[in-house]
Structure formats: structure tokens, C-alpha cells
Amino acid sequence: MSQNTHTLHLFFQDPIKLKLGQLVYQYLVTGHTEQAQRWADRLGASDLQALWDAQWFNQEVFARPDHLTLRFDTGTSDDLPLHALETLFAHGLQAAVLEVFYDQVGETERMHFDAGQWVSRKAFIQKNPQWLPVVEPQAGRDEAGDASEGDEDADHGCSKDPVKPLSVTQLRKQEAQRKREAQEAVEAFVGLAQAMGKSGTSPVQGLIAVLLLRAGLKGLLQAFVFTVLAVLLFKGFWLWLGLGLVLAVVLPLYYMLSEYKALKGDNDDSDADGEDGGPVTVMASH
């Protein structure tokens, strides 16, 4: 069974907040929720569900002198621990680094957070250089001259950086919206396939029809935008209007034909792959 393995490094503003956070998670991982609730109240984060997702499994907590490390697994489609980060940043967390190993594809991804925002690796190191050897041991050794350039590049390559700093709250909302839209798209496709199945239409043919329709609408939209801009910017209203009507016919047909050829080409390739895999010998009779 595939799963995602999360390693979350938490750096608090002061030793007291760090100790409270350690007590909360050490009691949570051992199932002592009453004690965890007691220390969560002291931390100011009373909602344990916001700190500890019930879908996490194989949980481990490592209390360090200067930071706290959580390690847990989730399903491949489960959310990132953004709700926990959002709550902790509101109650004494200064910085955090989240490392996720995606077992399904064998890849690792690292995200850096500072002062309640998702930031780039460079920005994180500039503000928190003391934590680099903790979250990226290879990079820390490289700064000391003990690591190779290839190791450094590999370590940096797994960093996922935002275009610009983004609050954890906004990131959580974006991820929730993206997941909701993906779910709606899946449900719409399933509904379309079921409706076509009842009517005797092949779901594959129905999908092709949807793609062709989308390509036609794309051409129609481009023709409309061109006509409006040409009429507004240049003289010759009837000339541009007539040209726009022509484009409104030609462009949709062009895009639909291109899409159909692409789909037909894929089908032809699949058919060819399914036929005799060996060379074809042509013999001429005399």
C-alpha cells in the first residue's frame, strides 16, 4: 500500500513554548488525550483536532533540546498538515520545515515556513541559518566543506518554493479548493459516463465529443476577442465584422479537426502497438 511519509521540524519562539509543544505531542502519540489537552490549554491551542489529524498513522515524536520533530504517515490523497501548522503559528511557533516522501513515485519534497508564511528555501535560510544543519544535514556539511556539489544540488532540488511568500492560512484554503475542484471533476466525469451508459453511448466517444466541443469553443472565443479588438482599434467596422464571422467558422473547425487528428493518432498508435510486434516482410511474386 502506497503512503506519504511526513517529517515535520518545529522551531518555537522560546523554550517554554517548545516544552509545552513537546508535552502536547508526546502525550498525543501515546494516546493520553487528557494530559495532552491539559498542556494544549497551557499552550493556548485548545483544539486537539487542529494539532493532530486522526488520519495520521505510524506517528513518532522526537523531542530535541532546541526543536521538536514529528514523523507520521498518511494516505496518498490525504492533506498536508497545514491546519496543524496554522494553529501552531498562532501559538508560539516561529519556523517549520515539512519534508514529505511520496512512496508512490519515490520522490521527496520539502517546504519551508517562517512566521506563518510558506517561503522559499533561500528566504528561510536567510532568516533562520541556525536551523539549516537540522533540516538539511547534507547542506550543513557542505557549508563546512565536507559534501560534494552533487549532493548539494540533490538536496536543493527537493525544495518546493512559492512564487512569493504565502500565508499558511491562504495555502490551506487553496489546497482545499484544488481538492474540491478535482473531486467535482471526477464526479462529473463519472456522472457523464453513467448517463452515456444508460443511453447506449460509449463513454469514450462521449469524452471525445466533450474534447471536440471544448476545442470548438476555444476557436469561437478567439474569433470573438479578435473581432472586438479589431473593431475598437481599427477603422472599417464591416470589414472586421465580416472577417470575424469567417474566423468564427474557421477557427472552431480548425481546432476541432486538430483535436480529432490528435485523438485519432493516439488511437492509431495504440492499434498499431496491439498488432504483430515483429517486422513485416513483403514478398513479391514473379
Question: What tens digit of pLDDT does each residue of 16-62 get?
Answer: 999 999 999 999 999 999 999 999 999 999 899 999 998 899 999 99
CA 167, CA 85: separation in Å to the nearest integer? Answer: 11
Place of cell 508526546: 26
Question: What tens digit of pLDDT does each residue of 151-165 get?
Answer: 444 456 689 999 999
Burial of residue 271 (number of CB atoms within 10 Å: 0-12, 13-18, 19+): exposed
Domain assignment present for residue 190? The answer is no
165 and 256 in one domain? no
| End residue of a domain, out of 174, 192, 220 | 174
Q: Could you tell me the pLDDT band of residue 285, with boundaries at 50, 70 and 90?
A: very low
13 and 116 in one domain? yes
32 and 95 in one domain? yes
Domain assignment present for residue 195? The answer is no
Domain assignment present for residue 185? The answer is no
32 and 133 in one domain? yes
Question: What tens digit of pLDDT does each residue of 76-133 get?
Answer: 888 899 999 999 999 999 999 999 999 888 899 999 999 999 999 999 999 999 998 8
Q: Could you tell me the pLDDT band of residue 235, with boundaries at 50, 70 and 90?
A: confident
CA 250, CA 134: separation in Å to the nearest integer? Answer: 61
143 and 8 in one domain? yes
What range defines the domain where residue 212 resides? 202-271
DSSP 226-260: HHHHHHHHSS-HHHHHHHHHHHHHHHHHHHHHHHH
In this prediction, residue 136 carries a pLDDT of 84
The pTM assigned to this predicted structure is 0.65
